[in-house]
With several copies, the nearest count.
Chain A
Amino acid sequence: MTKIVPMEEAVAAIPEGALLALGGFAIARSPVAFVHEMIRQGKRNLTIAQCIGAFETDLLVGAGAVKRLIYAGGTLDRPGPLHNINRAIAQGTIEVSEYSGFSLALRFLAGSLGLPYLPAYTLLGSEILERLLQEKNPEVALGECPFTGERVVMLKALQPDYAIIHVPRSDPQGNAIIYGPCWDLEAALAAETIILTADEIFSGELTPQQAQEVAIPAPRVKMVVHQPYGAHPTSVYGKYDYDRRHIDEYVSCATTPEGMKKYLDKYIYGVSCFDEYLELIGGLRRIQELAADSLKKY
């Protein structure tokens, strides 16, 4: 049963105010094409949950689509900070729940397994914890281990409405293969509904080798969008490198709200679909430059 749908249709399924997990990590495997289309469709009041803030989330915040951010901080690595996120938090234009990376990952893990919460030893003594405990509806609590009496931080399970995950390969049923580290797996499996964007669709019965590589199993996946280079300008290990030139341009635009508006106008509102954007950033020629080496995988 194929779950392949056009990008417009998959994005249209996301309701106003949804809680989304996004799959990127800094400048790696961000579901950029999906976020472009969300911005074009004018999604608003989203809550985004992501262990380490990434390119697509900065974009979404910059477009004014985000009401609340649940994350553990982040940057675009050396190319620069998450300007839009940092600015929105500083100016109070978005609500933010800041975690450490692992504590938020545990909330996803609990969600993925249907466990109500997880007890851990991180965050203790920090102002991060202090602020989380002071939230209106706290999703973190202090407690103690019933076996050892030790103090623990109890982290409530997080089950986003949707996880948007970009993968190099998926079959039409949604058996998704991810190469390299898989930081977003707990977030993906925590969500009620998983939507994949995939650079490549492969078909036919899975070989044992392929089954071994499947990271996200089809029964958990609702929709698959086929979008080659759908993570550009971020990288997909085994497929293509990040586009440093474009990320630098992005960071330089994102430094000011005015610059960001220009970026959005040019690269998102100014095109009708992601393929048009790919033409704009240099088309086939640029894409070929970014193709991963078969041994190095970048």
Chain B
Amino acid sequence: MIKSGDYTTRELMAVAGARELQDNQNVVVGLGLPQVATELARRTHAPHINIILEIGVVNPAPIEPTVGIADPRFWYKSEYFTTFVGAMGQFLHRGLVDVGFLGGLEVDMYGNLNSTLVELPGGGIRHFTGSGGGNDIASLAKKTLVIMPHQKRKFPPKVSYLTSPGYLQGGSSRREAGLKGGGPEKVITDKAVLGFDKKSGRMKLLSVHPGVTIEEVIAHTGFELLIEEVTTTAPPTENEIRLLREVIDPLRMYIK
């Protein structure tokens, strides 16, 4: 039996991500935990998962650490190469992407994401990565999984720039905007796993990681979380830990 000291928080996050994936799903993947979580799912309960990189790569099986989706290490053993429109159109806009992973600078109570800019205290802005395919994934994937560090300033009531839509202003506003994708399903942080209330679209605490208290999560969240039944995030199994450390990320680039 695995104990809480036997795994890292990022390992737990990877496992939590993997468990959201099902066999035969089409998943748009990016660097880091999304890649690790998807690979873990593929090597456990979801062997026929399809991996799509927005750069135009389908079903790669990398064997060396990569620095991003533009790194050809990430394309190793791909089954299909296509264009940007091929990847993002034929799969994502066509409605065939089951799960997309997202991250950002900020996530708000409705799961809206900012990855574009923050306003500086003294006026002016600081500009960051922007959307890339993030807005498209948030708009069009059947569901999205958000992976974020759990910090109060990264969880404001309202994002300072809405790059990628969550449930917008809550309620039916996402549907009314004409968005086809299902929206954020889970937010996986270093403290907890959160979901959303179907009706209000508000973020809801689902489970806290072993050793983390509900109060701690609340203290690190900049808005009021819905809190009903809260469980403890299920820890990794020994097999999962073995796969992560020995097979998927032996250099511990993403899970240390």
Residues of A within 8 A of B (CB): 1, 25-28, 51-54, 71-75, 77-79, 81, 85-87, 89-91, 98-103, 105-106, 108-109, 112-115, 120-128, 150-152, 173, 175, 179-186, 189, 205-206, 208, 211-212, 214, 217-220, 235, 237, 241-242, 244, 292, 296-298
Contact = CB atoms under 8 A, between A and B. Distances in A.
Contacts of B80: 175, 211, 214, 217-218
Interface stretch (B6-14, B144-152, B177-185, B211-219): B177-185
13 contacts: A73-B130, A100-B133, A101-B131, A121-B178, A122-B135, A122-B139, A125-B173, A180-B57, A182-B83, A183-B56, A184-B84, A208-B78, A218-B79
A126 B130 contact: no
Nearest to B165: A125
Contacts of B88: 101-102, 105
B31 A113 contact: no
Contacts of A185: 83-84
Interface centre among A75, A214, A219, A235 (most CB of B within 10 A): A219
Given A105-B85, A123-B135, A150 B79 contact: no
Contact of B135 (A91, A100, A211, A298): A100
B140 A113 contact: no
A1 B48 contact: yes
A124 B178 contact: yes
Contacts, number: 253
Contact of B128 (A86, A105, A128, A217): A86
> Shortest 7 CB-CB distances between A and B: which pairs?
A73-B130, A77-B68, A181-B56, A151-B178, A26-B70, A298-B72, A100-B135
Interface in B45-73: 47-48, 50, 52-59, 67-73
B189 interface: no
Given A121-B178, A127-B162, A219-B58, A28 B81 contact: no
Interface of B: 26, 31, 47-48, 50, 52-59, 67-73, 75-85, 87-96, 115-117, 124-136, 139-140, 161-165, 168, 173-174, 177-180
Interface centre among B50, B56, B71, B85 (most CB of A within 10 A): B85
A257 to B, nearest CB: 15
Given A78-B31, A237-B75, A102 B90 contact: no
A125 B79 contact: no
Contact of B84 (A27, A186, A217): A186
Contacts of B75: 180-181, 237, 297-298
A72 B77 contact: no
A125 B94 contact: no
A172 to B, nearest CB: 12
Interface centre among A25, A79, A150 (most CB of B within 10 A): A25
B130 A72 contact: yes
Contact of B179 (A75, A125, A211): A125
Contacts of B76: 296, 298
Contact of B71 (A27, A54, A292): A27
Contacts of A91: 124
A186 B81 contact: no
A190 B47 CA distance: 26
A98 B88 CA distance: 18
Contacts of B82: 181-182, 217
Contact of B70 (A25, A206, A217, A292): A25
A113 B68 contact: no
A151 B79 contact: no
A185 B84 CA distance: 8
A265 to B, nearest CB: 25
Contact of A214 (B79, B132, B174): B79
Given A78-B68, A113-B89, A180 B81 contact: yes
B118 to A, nearest CB: 10
Interface centre among B47, B68, B81, B90 (most CB of A within 10 A): B81
Nearest to A176: B80
Contacts of A113: 85, 89-90, 93-94
A152 B55 CA distance: 24
A87 to B, nearest CB: 8
Given A77-B69, A98-B131, A100-B131, A105 B84 contact: yes
A81 B128 contact: yes
Nearest to B177: A125
Interface centre among B26, B67, B83, B128 (most CB of A within 10 A): B83
Contacts of A81: 128-129
B83 A121 contact: no
Given A181-B57, A217-B80, A90 B127 contact: yes
